[in-house]
Amino acid sequence: MASNIFCYFNDILIILKAEVSAPANAEEANRPDYVLNKYDYFGYGTNSSVHQVNVVALSKLTCFILPNQYGHLLQPKTIWNAEETPEHSLLEQILHLEPLEVDIFRGFTLPEAPTFRQVFGGQFIGQALAAASKTVDCLKMVHSLHAIFLVAGDNNIPIIYQVHRARDGSSFATRKVEAKQKGLVVFTLIASFQKEEVGFEHQAAIMPDVPPPEQLLNLEEIRERRLTDPRFPSQYRNLAAKKKFIPWPIEMRFCEGSASQHKPSLNYWFRARGKLSDDQALHRCVVAYASDLLFSGVSLNPHREKGLKTYCLSLDHSIWFHKPVKADEWMLYVIESPSAHGGRGFVTGRMFNRQGELIMSLTQEALIRREKPRGPNPRPKL
Ligand SMILES: CCCCC/C=C\C/C=C\C/C=C\C/C=C\CCCC(=O)SCCNC(=O)CCNC(=O)[C@H](O)C(C)(C)COP(=O)(O)OP(=O)(O)OC[C@H]1O[C@@H](n2cnc3c(N)ncnc32)[C@H](O)[C@@H]1OP(=O)(O)O
């Protein structure tokens, strides 16, 4: 027994019982209807104007009406209002974007953020994913993304993120993001989002047997040891002490000592420094950011030698999120490099939580070359 419901309202209706078939709007009228179930919602939740909603109840319908002034309660505490939380971590500041227009955002490279010669690749991925996430129904979470680095970004100018809404389906949504500097597209990302769903389950990947993070040193402690270890020549120690050192917003603990630094693999624990807001979208942006820090460098491990200077840049990066992420708790990053050839190093990664659950799978290809001496007037890239 199906019955049509036409109503004019600006509140949100949450379904408590029954199924509802909903042609969402006029543009989608030619597409097959999609079905809303218990706890799905429809309506607009705006107080600017009254909208028409056209749905078909497939059986007796019971709804909870949420008046528009309470619509914000459906939004989780998100990265886009992070500035309202005084104690937010440095990572939330790095990923914070300024909305400029519908689907257009501005990101910055903060002085406290890790920078390299060019904008850090993980910053592009994290910020672009944050921009895409802001345009997607908050019940849908990113499950995969694919990024390409086109031009080295300039740390000294803002980055404009333009989001294209490629598709909004009932279960999935797809977004394309272009990052621009000086009018040039320097980075692109395509990301797919999905509503939570129950389905088939298995995990064939096994977490390697490594020491727990509490028994290992972090990067800062390794550096401290190098500065004070009398086995290193004093010239080396003085030089290392003079180098500007900005602690990364990600804490890392390496599972193997320097003896294994020539293996085309690396295992390390990591977590975000400071407490993050309780927002799954933010936690996924944070791990996406962290995933580019020590990834493609593993493809150089078998080729490392004294005095080697390299020119390395991430070319592309893909992530699949299998399960919910907690970026401020320890995760094990297991990296392998099956191949380096033709100036390109290829790496694959897996991230496990402490319970051994496989949370994410990743791949990346990077340009890996011996550094050539710079000419007197290098061509500007932007
Ligand atoms: C066991 C314990 C281990 C413990 C480890 C412990 C500690 C580790 C600690 C620290 C590790 C530190 C850092 C690692 C962390 C993070 C890594 C971050 C990675 C990134 O965040 S990465 C940023 C994102 N990714 C990009 O931003 C790429 C954007 N995309 C492009 O940039 C272009 O798409 C390109 C270049 C790919 C193709 O562009 P194209 O087709 O035009 O390429 P082309 O070959 O012509 O080079 C063009 C110009 O690149 C320069 N160039 C080329 N080859 C060179 C060489 N060999 N030497 C010197 N310069 C070179 C010249 O300037 C040349 O220009 P010119 O010819 O005028 O000289």
Which pLDDT tens digit goes with each residue over 198-246? Answer: 999 999 999 999 999 999 988 888 878 778 877 777 877 777 777 777 7
- Which of 149, 217, 263 is the best mutation target for the ligand 1 pocket, counting ligand atoms within 8 Å of the beta carbon and taking the most? 149
pLDDT for res 8: 56
Higher pLDDT, 72 or 272: 272
pLDDT for res 31: 53
What confidence tier does 381 reach under pLDDT thresholds 50, 70, 90? confident
Find the largest Cα–Cα distance for the chain.
85
pTM, 2 dp: 0.81
What is the phi-psi region of residue 248: left when phi exceeds 0, alpha when psi lies from -120 to 50, beta otherwise?
Answer: beta
Q: 192, 277, 280, 314: which one is catalytic?
A: 314
Query: 175 CA distance to ligand 1 centroid (A)?
Result: 27
Per mean pLDDT, which range of 89-103, 126-140, 219-233 is the poorest?
A: 219-233
What confidence tier does 80 reach under pLDDT thresholds 50, 70, 90? low
Distance between CA 136 and CA 43 in Å, rounded? 16
What confidence tier does 4 reach under pLDDT thresholds 50, 70, 90? low
pLDDT for res 187: 98
- Tell me whether residue 215 is one of the annotated catalytic residues: no
Distance between CA 322 and CA 356 in Å, rounded? 13
pLDDT for res 240: 75
The residue whose C-alpha atom lies closest to atom 40 belonging to ligand 1 is 151
Higher pLDDT, 238 or 327: 327
What is each CA distance from 261 to 138, 205, 292, 314, in whole angstroms? 42, 24, 18, 20
Domains in the chain with CATH codes:
12-73 (no CATH), 76-195 (3.10.129.10), 213-370 (3.10.129.10)
| Cβ atoms of residues 315 and 334 within 8 Å | no
Q: 292, 296, 328, 337: which one is catalytic?
A: 292
Query: 335 CA distance to ligand 1 centroid (A)?
Result: 20
pLDDT for res 171: 95
β strands within 3-70, DSSP E: 3-9, 12-17, 20-22, 34-36, 41-43, 51-57, 62-66
Higher pLDDT, 71 or 361: 361
State pLDDT tens for residues 332-354.
Answer: 999 999 999 999 999 999 999 99
| Cβ atoms of residues 364 and 296 within 8 Å | yes
| Cβ atoms of residues 345 and 299 within 8 Å | yes
| Cβ atoms of residues 188 and 147 within 8 Å | yes
Query: Secondary structure of 133-191 in the HEC alphabet?
Result: HCCCCCCEEEEEEEEEECCCCCCCCCEEEEEEEEEECCCEEEEEEEEEECCEEEEEEEE
The residue whose C-alpha atom lies closest to atom 51 belonging to ligand 1 is 311
For residue 124, give the ligand 1 atom closest to its CA. Answer: 24
| Cβ atoms of residues 244 and 114 within 8 Å | no
Distance between CA 299 and CA 294 in Å, rounded? 10
Tell me the CA end-to-end span of the chain in Å, nearest whole number: 62
CB-based contacts of 124, cutoff 8 Å, min separation 6: 147, 149, 153, 159, 179, 186, 187, 189
State pLDDT tens for residues 13-72.
Answer: 777 777 777 655 545 555 556 677 787 777 755 555 566 667 788 888 888 888 877 766
pLDDT for res 362: 98
- DSSP 3-state of 204: coil
- Tell me whether residue 280 is one of the annotated catalytic residues: no
Distance between CA 256 and CA 266 in Å, rounded? 8
pLDDT for res 38: 80
Q: Are strands 20-22 and 104-107 parallel, antiparallel or unpaired?
A: unpaired
Query: 379 CA distance to ligand 1 centroid (A)?
Result: 15
Query: 111 CA distance to ligand 1 centroid (A)?
Result: 21
Query: 161 CA distance to ligand 1 centroid (A)?
Result: 22
pLDDT for res 14: 77
Starting at the earlier edge strand, list the strands of the sheet with 12-17. 41-43, 12-17, 62-66
Residues within a 6 A CB radius of ligand 1: 116, 118, 120-121, 149-152, 254, 256, 258, 260-261, 292-294, 297, 311, 313-315, 367, 369, 371-372, 378-379
pLDDT for res 22: 65
- Tell me whether residue 118 is one of the annotated catalytic residues: no
Distance between CA 338 and CA 1 in Å, rounded? 58
What confidence tier does 10 reach under pLDDT thresholds 50, 70, 90? low
